[in-house]
Amino acid sequence: MGILADLFYPFRRPAQPPARPATGFFTDTTLCIGCKACEVACKQWNQLPSDGFNFTGDSYDNTQALSGTTWRHVVFVEQFPQPQKTESGFAPEALDIEALLAEPPAGRWLMMSDVCKHCGIAPCEIACPTGALIVNEFSNIYVQNDICNGCGYCVAACPFGVIARSPLDGHAHKCTLCYDRQRDDMPPACAKACPTGSIQFGPIDELRVRAHARLEELDARGVSGAYLYGDSPSASYSALNAFFLLIDKPDRYGLPNDPERPQLHLRGDYLRAAFGTLAALAVIAASLMSHVF
């Protein structure tokens, strides 16, 4: 029996781990200061290579987007009035330095630490042909890199531009929600490193209660327009296990205003393929009949 067991070992599956409470992130962008501690902690813990310290011209953002080697990305959005330019140059009032120092123009920074959304119904997991993407016991979307064949279907399926292939091995990579740390009852590295509590980790149900309480607190303080992005399902998309509190339109933060699952459009594709097949069969049948008669 021992020899037979050894022979069939590669074909046996290990016991599935028992389900645990669904976990995720609640990111409060009003508390983000753009320190990038989350980016550094993520790279350090997951041993991800540096993307360089090149000047991109995009504010203080030197990573610019999530990628196969950047699983946490801090978005910087500067919303300040720009000097008005006339045909002869900038308007004179724009050059009044003393007036600008006495009363600086109203403006604000928008900052957000972006990450994989770990969607309740994940298009990347549905699109994967090899089963490399799975929903683990914490209801997080996890990539098994040893099974990934680098086809890129998951990259095309994600409406948030989260998952990407690494230039190092060609396989898909993204945030694992620190699966290795969660199994040891430790919080993800990014949440632990966040100095302001902008990134909050825990059971999804508790995070949603906490997020709604935060909205009420901001409203009482006079902060209007704050809302939760991805907290609940929409007509075209599921709820997110990593959701955000925003104070401007989603696209200002680089998020889609109305994300859609690509699979929702497959019904039309199937119908068109079926009608096309029937039409082709009808043409072939007509051709054969014309030769017979």
Q: Is residue 168 part of a domain?
A: yes
Q: Is residue 245 part of a domain?
A: yes
Return the ∠ at Cα 198 (arms to 192 and 202), rounded to 5°: 55
Q: Is residue 97 part of a domain?
A: no
Residue 220 has pLDDT above 80, yes or no: yes
Q: Is residue 13 part of a domain?
A: no
The residue among 184 and 100 whose pLDDT is bigger is 184
The residue among 282 and 3 whose pLDDT is bigger is 282
Q: Is residue 207 part of a domain?
A: yes
Pairing state between β 227-229 and 164-165: unpaired
Query: Which of 17, 18, 25 shows the shortest CA–CA distance to 204?
Result: 25
Report the 10 Å Cβ neighbour count for 32.
22
Q: Is residue 56 part of a domain?
A: yes
Domain total in the chain: 2
Q: What is the CATH number of the domain that holds 211?
A: 3.30.70.20
Residues 159 and 292 in one domain: no
Residues 265 and 161 in one domain: no
Report the 10 Å Cβ neighbour count for 132.
21
What HEC string does the chain produce?
CHHHHHHCHHHCCCCCCCCCCCEEEEEEHHHCCCCCHHHHHHHHHHCCCCCCCCCCCCCCCCCCCCCCCCCCEEEEEEECCCCCEECCEECHHHHCHHHHHHCCCCCEEEEEEECCCCECCCHHHHHCCCCCEEECCCCCEEECCCCCCCCCHHHHHCCCCCCEECCCCCCEECCCCCHHHHHCCCCCHHHHHCCCCCEEEEEHHHHHHHHHHHHHHHHHCCCCCCEEECCCCCCCCCCECEEEEECCCHHHHCCCCCCCCHHHHHHHHHHHHHHHHHHHHHHHHHHHHHHHC
Report the 10 Å Cβ neighbour count for 125.
18
Q: Is residue 89 part of a domain?
A: no
Residues 144 and 254 in one domain: yes
What is the distance between the alpha carbons of residues 178 and 181, in angstroms, rounded to a whole number? 5
Query: Which of 268, 246, 265, 267 shows the shortest CA–CA distance to 257?
Result: 246
The pair of three-digit structure tokens given for residue 3, joined into one six-digit string: 């020899």
Residue 284 has pLDDT above 90, yes or no: no
The residue behind tokens 């909205």 is 215
Residues 287 and 152 in one domain: no
Residues 250 and 286 in one domain: no
Residue 121 has pLDDT above 70, yes or no: yes
Q: What is the pLDDT of residue 292?
A: 65
Domain that holds residue 289: 261-293
Q: Is residue 4 part of a domain?
A: no
How many residues can be counted in the chain?
293
- What is the pLDDT confidence band of residue 51, given thresholds at 50, 70 and 90? confident
22: CB partners within 8 A, 6+ apart: 138, 139, 203, 204, 205, 241
Residues 131 and 234 in one domain: yes
The pair of three-digit structure tokens given for residue 93, joined into one six-digit string: 């009032």
Residues 206 and 271 in one domain: no
Residues 282 and 150 in one domain: no
What is the distance between the alpha carbons of residues 256 and 260, in angstroms, rounded to a whole number? 9
Residues 122 and 70 in one domain: yes
- What is the pLDDT confidence band of residue 262, given thresholds at 50, 70 and 90? confident
Residue 148 has pLDDT above 70, yes or no: yes
Amino acid at 184: D
pTM for the predicted model, two decimal places:
0.80
Query: Which of 218, 169, 178 shows the shortest CA–CA distance to 201?
Result: 178
Residue 176 has pLDDT above 80, yes or no: yes
Residues 142 and 201 in one domain: yes
What is the distance between the alpha carbons of residues 34 and 64, in angstroms, rounded to a whole number? 13
CA 72 to chain centre: 9
Q: What percent of the chain has pLDDT over 70?
A: 84
Residues 41 and 66 in one domain: yes
Residues 74 and 194 in one domain: yes
Summary mean pLDDT of the chain: 86
Q: What is the pLDDT of residue 101?
A: 59
